[in-house]
């Protein structure tokens, strides 16, 4: 009986270690995706959006405000979607 419990505990520990490893890899992949997304967004903003807005006569403050508003909107969408996914996962 004691050996069975020890074996089960060892298996649980092993599964926990594997799960921790998978979470670490998932976090690394997510960081790469976020870094690429941010780089693309800033590149687009600096090379296409800002020059066009400057041509339209927007002030640096207005341009900054537009960028901040778009950032807030993107965060709202992302966090909302993340919450929906969490709710679906918890409902299972």
User: For the segment 8-17, what is each residue's pLDDT rounded down to a tens digit?
Assistant: 889 989 998 9
Integer CA distances (angstroms), 78 to 19, 49, 68, in order: 25, 22, 15
pLDDT in tens, 71-90: 999 999 989 988 998 888 88
Q: How far apart (Å, rounded) are the C-alpha atoms in residues 2 and 13? A: 16
pLDDT digits (tens, 9 = 90+) for 19-76: 888 888 988 998 999 899 989 999 999 999 999 999 999 999 999 999 999 999 999 9
Mean pLDDT over the full length of the chain: 91
- pTM equals 0.65
Residues 6 or more apart in contact with residue 66 via CB below 8 angstroms: 53, 58
For the cut 90, the answer to whether the pLDDT of residue 92 exceeds it is no
**DSSP class of 34:** H
């Amino acid at each position: 009986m004691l050996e069975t419990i020890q074996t089960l505990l060892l298996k649980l520990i092993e599964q926990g270690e594997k799960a921790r490893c998978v979470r670490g890899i998932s976090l690394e992949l997510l960081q790469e995706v976020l870094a690429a997304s941010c780089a693309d967004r800033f590149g687009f903003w600096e090379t296409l959006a800002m020059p066009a807005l400057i041509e339209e006569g927007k002030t640096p403050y207005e341009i900054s405000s537009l960028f901040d508003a778009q950032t807030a909107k993107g965060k709202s969408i992302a966090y909302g979607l993340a919450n929906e996914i969490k709710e679906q996962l918890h409902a299972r």
